[in-house]
Amino acid sequence: MGKGKATLEVGADGVAVITIVNPPVNSLSLDVLYSLKDCYEEVMRRNDVKAIVVTGSSGKFSGGFDISAFSAIQGGKSGQPNADFISIDFITNIVEGGKKPSVAAVDGLSLGGGLEIAMACHARISTLNVQLGLPELQLGVIQDLEVHF
C-alpha cells in the first residue's frame, strides 16, 4: 500500500481544492507526487473547474520531500514505474504552465519541495504561523533529479 495522497474536491463555484494528505507533515512521497499530478491533470481537463487551491491537511502545507523515497529509489525498491529519478519539476511545470489560476493556501510548514509547489502556484496566501524554508540549502544538499512519465 502506498504512502500519502492528494485529494480533489470541486465546489459548485468552480473552485477545485487539492489537498496534500501524508501525516504528520504532509511529506512529498512518490505516491503524493503522482497523486498531485493526477489531480492537476484532471482539473485541467474539467470544464467546470475555473480555479485551483492547493493546500495541506492537518494545519501543515508540506514538510518537503519524503527522504525515505530517495533510498527506495536508489535501491530500486520504489514500486513506481520510471521512478529512477525524483523531482518537483513535473509538478512545477504542470502548475506553472496551467491555463487555470492556482493559489497555494499555506498553513504551518512549507519546506523544501512543499515550498517549491507553493512558489509554482500563481499566488500564495498564508496564515500568520507559516514556516517557510529551504532546509536542503543549509545541509549543502541540492537535488536536481527528475521523474520521467
The whole-model pTM stands at: 0.83
Q: Which of 9, 96, 116, 146 is the catalytic position? A: 116
Q: Which of 9, 42, 96, 136 is the catalytic position? A: 136
Banded pLDDT at 97 (limits 50, 70, 90): confident
Q: Is the pLDDT of residue 104 over 70?
A: yes
Residue 58 falls inside a structural domain: yes
Tallying the residues shown for the chain, one arrives at: 149
Q: Residue 129 belongs to what domain range?
A: 5-139
- The pLDDT of residue 3 is 84
Instruction: Please tell me the chain's helix, strand, coil percentages from 3-state DSSP, rounded to the nearest 5.
Output: 30, 25, 45
Residue 149 falls inside a structural domain: no
Work out how many domains the chain is built from and give that number.
Answer: 1
Residue 68 sits in a domain of what CATH number?
A: 3.90.226.10
- CA–CA gap between residue 116 and residue 91 (Å, rounded): 9
- What the block records as the C-alpha cell of 13 is 463555484
In the predicted model, what is the mean pLDDT of residues 111-121? 92
Residue 29 falls inside a structural domain: yes
Interval 5-31: pLDDT, tens: 999 999 999 999 999 999 999 999 888
Residue 144 falls inside a structural domain: no
- The pLDDT of residue 66 is 84
Our answer to whether residue 136 is catalytic in this structure is yes
- What the block records as the C-alpha cell of 96 is 506553472
Residue 42 falls inside a structural domain: yes
Is pLDDT larger for residue 97 or for residue 142?
A: 97
Residue 104 falls inside a structural domain: yes
